[in-house]
Structure 1
């Protein structure tokens, strides 16, 4: 009889510990938010620009924003760069273009800015720990988000864009083209 009691106690202890572990796992899982997607408000990004200035994405409320996650060594990112720069110059004052590095370090990003002559009014962010990709659900590069003046994400694209597609998607996000 004593062995049955001992087995019962062991089973009860195992059940309690299993329940606690499962509860902890569920609690931990619930703490992680799903990444932002089309229709959601764009999570605020705080980072430092290549010129050393503090930046917050929320400071651009009231403007159409093109947010492009990139890396300086990525072939599709490099392919898209001339179109992105031409688009930025053509629509200066009508859209704010923000490039955010995916963790390559300040030196590589500054070299990219210098090599491709990115205009000073294009915001290029240094993101050494790739802090923001998870919140946006970014898994590769380039990935681009088109954000309305109210801060809502209206389009998420994967892969390089042309100047024409940038203009169309930015117009869909509220950029005035006239």
Structure 2
């Protein structure tokens, strides 16, 4: 029987430990970087509203959610704003309308809320480091996710929407228009 040198055993042992640690970290990284898709439970969002209140998306479970990623300076987001406001005023008591900023300064977001008279039926979240875009796979703005009352993503739309489109897609999430 051939004897394996002790040095080779040590090298193989260290390599196995390093590979295990690296595999664990890659697995953990993949859990947070792999974006949610239609049918998945929406990743929880913990943020602060533009008015300074703590917010958790999971607290809205039981009712549908219209989640819109935006920036206050983007032309398509600004184009969509009047429709978002009209939608929220009409249906805000039956679906949560949540806007989440993609990394802008809070003053810029507050100016947007003030300039466009964003109503209380809309929750506007601050995300100074744009922390919540990766879990949702957001790469631009506006991007909208419709989330059912059970917390699952039922639709992902890239680009601005009209009020009629918002209503149509929100029905898929469980919005009752009657």
TM superposition score category, shorter chain reference: 0.7 to 0.9
Structure-2 residue corresponding to 1:80: 80
Matched, 1:69 2:69: yes
Structure-1 residue corresponding to 2:132: 132
SS of the residue aligned with 1:98?
Answer: strand
Instruction: Compute the displacement of 1:12 (Å).
Output: 7.6
Matched, 1:154 2:154: yes
From 21, 24, 28, the counterpart of 1:27: 24
Name the CA distance, whole Å, in 2 between partners of 1:140 and 1:13.
49
Bigger Cα displacement from structure 2, 105-114 vs 26-35: 26-35
Q: Which runs of 5+ in 1 are unaligned?
A: 1-5
Q: What pairs with 1:29-178 in structure 2 (closer than 5 Å)?
A: 29-32=26-29, 33=31, 34-178=34-178
Name the CA distance, whole Å, in 2 between partners of 1:27 and 1:106.
36
Alpha-carbon deviations, 1:126-178, whole Å to 9, x = none?
Answer: 11111111111111111110001111110011111111111001001100011
Structure number, greater radius of gyration: 1
SS of the residue aligned with 2:76?
Answer: helix
Q: TM-score w.r.t. structure 1 length?
A: 0.87
Name the CA distance, whole Å, in 1 between partners of 2:157 and 2:23.
32
CA contact (8 A) 2:48 2:125 kept: yes
CA contact (8 A) 2:93 2:121 kept: no
SS of the residue aligned with 1:83?
Answer: helix
Q: Which runs of 5+ in 2 are unaligned?
A: none
Q: TM-score w.r.t. structure 2 length?
A: 0.87
